[in-house]
A and B are shown apart, each in its own frame.
Chain A
Amino acid sequence: MDPGLDGDQGLSTAAASPPGTPRRAGLRRGLAAGLHRHAGARLALLLSAPLAWLGVAYLGALAALLVTAFWSTDSFTGELVRTFTWANFQDVLTVDVYRTVALRSLGVAVAVTLIDVVIAFPMAFAMAKLASPRAQRWLVIAVLTPLWASYLVKAYAWRVMLSSDGLLGWGYGLPATIATLAYLWLPYMILPIYAGLERLPNSLLDAAGDLGARGPRTFRTVVWPLTFPAVVAGSVFTFSLSLGDYIAVKIVGGRSQLIGNVVYDNIGAAGNLPFAAAVAAIPVLIMLVYLAAVRRTGALDNL
């Protein structure tokens, strides 16, 4: 490989550094030697910036938001009242409107995920196991391309199609939202399943056939268990993306509301950050439980 050859040349120029810069070269050398000897220092340096950004700043922001969820706002001045209270969570769990919205969001996320699995699995299977290698390459591109098309553009496309004088003409509402979300996240389901099926050796399918299993049984006992982590990996996307969405609902949902809308409205119009934070904790809790549950399947390595 070329770079290896170049390496030697780079070395000789480094060794014959111009006499004017001995200190800088020495410093660099010392640093390099120190880094070479101390793996711990190398690791600390590598981790410093990412951890400062994601571990301190981002997690810090999330933690601060969580703390805010236990505060309240003064109903007259709208100022934050920094005293501990469970009131926001109590409201979320006991007020009917919010319970309904939370359950509806969960239902939408589950429906979207199931629809995507049902549509994506046969597509991915046909791509991975029936198409020629050349066709496979093109099919992957065909599935990938819409991912690069803007989220809004796709939601907008469905708004145009679903409008009462559009191509489909279903009108807006919850079914329209589910259809649009399922459409938006479909490639996120196809690609992991396709990758999972591609890793599944054809010889296993042949072996199942040789041992007398027909299609459905091969699917149930061989294909599905081995590609399950891939399906779960896809579902992490479809589930999480659906739970937090409030844009598509606004575009095609008519007057229906999901968790995201409640959070958004409480920040914007009502200016009630503590309550918004408490509502936003619902999808986070659901996702954390979900992620913890699926970590065992090894699905997260497929992301």
Chain B
Amino acid sequence: MNLSRPARLALRLALVLGLGVIYVPLGVVLLNSFNSDRTFAWPPAGFTTRWWGAAWNSAGVRDALWTSVQAGLGATAIALVLGTMAAFAVQRYRFFGRDTVSLLIVLPIALPGIVTGIALNNAFRTILEPFGVGLGLFTVIVGHATFCVVTVHNNVLARLRRMGAGAEEASADLGADTFTTFRLVTFPMMRSALLAGGLLAFALSFDEIIVTTFTAGAGVRTLPIWIFENLFRPNQAPVVNVVAAALIVLSVVPIYLAQRLSGTASTH
């Protein structure tokens, strides 16, 4: 490539600086979780593991974590079904309004979260309340599933594009019916795409706060909502900081899984 030496150096420097900007704030949170000073003045005053113990024993944190896991699992399950169905329809068929379907699936993440939030809030209250169903975990799951469909859809779509219909046609030629072909040929081939899409969907749901604010009732507190509620309370600051630090450490897990998944996908 015809890039001068200074240009290459500048680009490399930009990359290093950019990564620095990305990681320094996260590092500060990690460091502060061991900061003995309650106000987190920089530089840290001393070392303590007291806050980690306090966070571990906090009932509020535990409840919120469990709520988040339930919401994430529920939303992911729905997104897996809807996203896969939509991906098959869009990839395997040509029909009027196909582009509109794609647009419709992107819409919940393309529109600002607050719009989806108040639209769903309004709809839930008008439609569900007459039946005695209030806002709660169920409405959170419905709200999250709405914007999680796109991650599964995109992953499955990419996989379907790559694998083509050859293996399925061969299966049909050998006499397998539609369901058998799906169970024994199609599904195994797209399993890792489903896992990757599901993982993304779960992470998206686990992290969401805006739609959650509008779809959760008074009693339902996901982890992001708990953090936000306690963010401005000075006496809770150390625990909030530990939860933040723990979430940063935990964010490595999905990355590791995703890498393992893409690894298995490429060996097939």
Contacts and interface: CB of A to CB of B under 8 A. Distances in A.
Residue of B8, B104, B214 with most partner-chain A CB within 10 A:
B104
A11 B93 contact: no
Interface in A44-68: 46-51, 53-55, 57-62, 64-65, 68
B11 A122 contact: yes
Nearest to A187: B22
A156 B231 contact: yes
A143 B11 CA distance: 16
Interface size range on B against A: 35 or more
A192 interface: no
Interface in A39-97: 39, 42-43, 46-51, 53-55, 57-62, 64-65, 68
A152 to B, nearest CB: 5
B251 A146 contact: yes
A43 B85 CA distance: 9
A119 interface: yes
A283 B174 CA distance: 54
A50 B110 contact: no
Contacts of A167: 24, 28, 42
Contacts of B183: 10
Interface in B210-264: 210, 214, 223-224, 227-228, 231, 240-241, 244, 247-248, 251-252, 254-255, 258-259
The main secondary structure of chain B at its interface with chain A is helix
B58 interface: no
Interface string A228-240: 0000000010001
Contact of A125 (B11, B83, B86): B11
B268 interface: yes
A247 B255 CA distance: 26
A72 to B, nearest CB: 15
A267 B125 CA distance: 13
Contacts of B81: 49
Contact of B247 (A119, A153, A214, A260): A153
Contact of B112 (A156, A157, A283): A283
Contacts of B18: 119-120, 122-123, 186, 190
B65 interface: no
B185 interface: yes
A14 interface: yes
B115 A283 contact: yes
Contact of A61 (B22, B102, B120, B145): B120
Contact of A287 (B23, B111, B177): B111
A218 interface: yes
B74 interface: no
B123 A291 contact: no
A51 B90 CA distance: 12
Contact of A165 (B39, B111, B118, B227): B39
Interface of A: 1-4, 6-8, 10-11, 14, 28-29, 32-33, 35-36, 39, 42-43, 46-51, 53-55, 57-62, 64-65, 68, 119-120, 122-123, 125-127, 129-130, 139, 141-146, 148-154, 156-161, 163, 165-167, 169, 183, 186-187, 190, 202, 205-206, 208-209, 213-215, 218, 236, 240-241, 243-247, 251, 260, 263-264, 267, 273, 276-277, 280, 283-284, 287, 291, 300, 303
Given A49-B81, A62-B115, A145-B255, A291 B14 contact: no
Given A49-B81, A54-B149, A156-B227, A3 B184 contact: yes
Contacts of A62: 111, 115, 119
A244 B115 contact: yes
A162 to B, nearest CB: 10
B247 A29 contact: no
A143 B22 contact: yes
A24 B266 CA distance: 39
A190 B214 CA distance: 31
A243 B2 CA distance: 39
Interface in B165-214: 167, 170-172, 174-181, 183-185, 188-189, 203, 206-207, 209-210, 214
B255 A148 contact: yes
B118 A54 contact: no
Nearest to B147: A58
Nearest to A156: B244
Contacts of B54: none
B112 A149 contact: no
